[in-house]
Structure 1
């Protein structure tokens, strides 16, 4: 009886992940609501603290306060610590502690890690986690050093180091929080550095490395020895490169004559801005041109890019580039009269195709429902609401200004949406709905007219 009750109440890996994220958000909310987390004698409501903790843990970057101006150094450290945990995954951080303490990783913990890392199996999962931690440390350290060197020319060295570490962690984990609100007369995000090649290039590299996923990074590092890449890496790299190029081209064309964005910039500034906005739009939430002043066509295009998102196994959100590629592959296969999707001479299983369709439809439905709800509760134009909702669900972090004007209901609603987006609707369904038993029979085939 005891063993049966233990089996009955044993949490599944998705449930453990969800509960872990909830606990981290709750602790983060408490810490951010403390007076020590605020600058001067400022106050933060519980809803604001909950929103900021959720945004940081879900590596979104949307903010209801001016992070640099309103948070103290303690508050900023709490925020970036939440970003680091959320970006790498709390189970990855727990595994790090276990490895340091030389504790054995149980099979149940390996299953949770497999779920958290979007890995195919538990085989080699602990080895992958070790690589993830090492890669993240080196990449963030490199980014921090490069940022520090650049910012040491305009601020004291201690502040340059602090800014370098904070922004390297934030941008690599695709969170997009910044501290430039603490500097007088500075615009938000990286807009002050719109034509700065060092800041732009370093930021783009950090976003790309954080967005392609650790499985792909591991593949790239072993490529000189193995001389081969997995199908996953080939799809992610080719699709990411294509989306970055198309995105930059579209933004460049749409905004070229816009006096509020690209038009005043030099040719190099136009190129850098178009590239950074394209790279950032799918997940990172940083920008060098003012999003609200973009043309509506550009804003809607960015909504599509945010919906597509980054790569599985990364800190980015969205439906993921692999899902997008499978959907495009399904359309092409249908138009050619093929029964199977083939990518790089490999057939994609029907299970993957069904999962891609399910994930996309669930994501689309959630965004539609959330947009309808917030157009009722918030006094803001429709496109702005759709932009903010997509940004929250896709954990992209870009904003057209609605987040800072949200009602109390809107803050809680958007925080829940960020949480769902970080876990994924399919994972959430696994948490709430028990898996049905496999059917041992098949129904007769029926035909429905389509089109």
Structure 2
């Protein structure tokens, strides 16, 4: 009977159901006495499981002290499942058992990996798993070289595994309460951790496209846009943070020029849903915090471990706006016209995302005792599955925790997934005459 019920569900509904079941299972494991060093309420366990599964990194209890080794392993497992996609693991296990991957499973994979067609999704899942595990293993080796001499073999290796998985999947979980603030001037940690979440957040289709194509001109339009967009936004953001925080005594003000650049670089790239921090977020200037909110809302790349509306979505909206300002009908990128449906989808995703964030902010303003900027920061961080916090998350009311749990889930799967799951899909069988309305 259960199988018949599942078969009646649409792919977006199944995807939501699978994530919900994984989160519930994780929460039950985290609430067990073996998982924690202190009494953990089920609400806190559910929040932590959701934050891990959606690779967000917001915490209501300190992951490094509140949870035992077992509990931390559960968190890492949820991060890996959520980051690479639980459907990826499910399909590969299905294949390992000798089962044939049918059209329904391929459609689910297409939905989970945010692909436009079902062709090649199984091959993509194989490459995705191999590539991800390879990158994480290499990262663990290099991080161990740094941390084993400092922490010893067991602690150093475990710390390397935890942070490599967390960073590559853009989760932002750390076993230290101050995240990576203790390594703000450490070039090895800064470079390795940022490389991990940039690679994980740029999108797997971009990585595979770069791997298979030998010349820039043969790259897909999506890859070209992501490469240039990521480079420009990271450099611009580093400059903005550097300038705004230059004289702030609580952040960059007490550092040397080279240290300021290093700290500004890390804090400029981490809001693209990575969630780690090397300076105190709550001590940053309000102008910096507002800029970070914008970065968190934009997020990383499609088909990646990152959240947000995605960089290509933001660029599509920006370019379409500029096209209207210039009275142009076509939106051109690298000598290619964007399809009208791409713009419509980008607009729908952006408006849907704004609606979710606005609703979250509205409810938290009613339930939480905090400033508007703090509530906005926490809300966008949850939706963008970033994990940066100004300190509000640990003090949330029960209602506030429930709201952010739902916000993180919607942010991870995307507003369009929920829209497709709960709305009917009927083709336009009747065509009507066209007429305009006045706008502006």
Same fold (TM over 0.5): yes
Report what 1:62 is aligned to: 58
Native 8 Å contact 2:382 2:407 kept in 1: yes
Cα distance in 2, alignment partners of residues 128 and 9 from structure 1: 24
Q: Mean Cα displacement is larger for which, 437-446 or 114-123?
A: 437-446
Match of 2:10 among 9, 12, 33: 12
Cα distance in 1, alignment partners of residues 6 and 48 from structure 2: 35
Report what 1:330 is aligned to: 320
How far the C-alpha of 1:168 sits from its partner, in A, is 0.2
Task: Mark the runs of 5 or more structure 2 residues left unpaired by the alignment.
Answer: none
Match of 1:417 among 407, 425, 430: 407
> Is 1:434 aligned to residue 424 of structure 2?
yes
> Is 1:447 aligned to residue 437 of structure 2?
yes
Match of 1:348 among 301, 316, 338: 338
Match of 2:289 among 284, 287, 299: 299
Per-residue CA deviations over 1:146-184 (Å, capped at 9, x if unaligned) read 111101121111111111011000010000100124xxx
Cα distance in 1, alignment partners of residues 246 and 6 from structure 2: 61
| Residues 7/65 of structure 1: CA separation in 2 closer, same or farther (3 Å cut) | closer
> Is 1:124 aligned to residue 114 of structure 2?
no
Cα distance in 2, alignment partners of residues 91 and 6 from structure 1: 19
How far the C-alpha of 1:383 sits from its partner, in A, is 0.2
Superposition TM-score, scaled by structure 1 size: 0.95
Aligned counterparts, 1:25-424, within 5 A? 25-39=23-37, 42-181=38-177, 188-224=178-214, 228-424=218-414
Cα distance in 2, alignment partners of residues 268 and 72 from structure 1: 38
Native 8 Å contact 2:6 2:14 kept in 1: no
Per-residue CA deviations over 1:339-365 (Å, capped at 9, x if unaligned) read 011111111111111111111111111
Task: Mark the runs of 5 or more structure 1 residues left unpaired by the alignment.
Answer: 182-187
Cα distance in 2, alignment partners of residues 398 and 25 from structure 1: 21
Native 8 Å contact 1:195 1:268 kept in 2: no
Report what 1:184 is aligned to: none
Q: Mean Cα displacement is larger for which, 358-367 or 252-261?
A: 358-367
How far the C-alpha of 1:226 sits from its partner, in A, is 8.8
Per-residue CA deviations over 1:49-80 (Å, capped at 9, x if unaligned) read 00000000000000000110110000000000
Report what 1:21 is aligned to: 19
How far the C-alpha of 1:6 sits from its partner, in A, is 6.4
| Residues 7/158 of structure 1: CA separation in 2 closer, same or farther (3 Å cut) | closer
- The size of the alignment, in residue pairs, is 439
How far the C-alpha of 1:376 sits from its partner, in A, is 1.0
Superposition TM-score, scaled by structure 2 size: 0.97
Per-residue CA deviations over 1:285-328 (Å, capped at 9, x if unaligned) read 00101000000000000000000011110111111001011011
Cα distance in 2, alignment partners of residues 341 and 134 from structure 1: 36
How far the C-alpha of 1:439 sits from its partner, in A, is 3.2
Cα distance in 2, alignment partners of residues 8 and 404 from structure 1: 37
How far the C-alpha of 1:101 sits from its partner, in A, is 2.5
Native 8 Å contact 2:115 2:303 kept in 1: yes
Per-residue CA deviations over 1:114-161 (Å, capped at 9, x if unaligned) read 011111211111111111001101111111111111011211111111
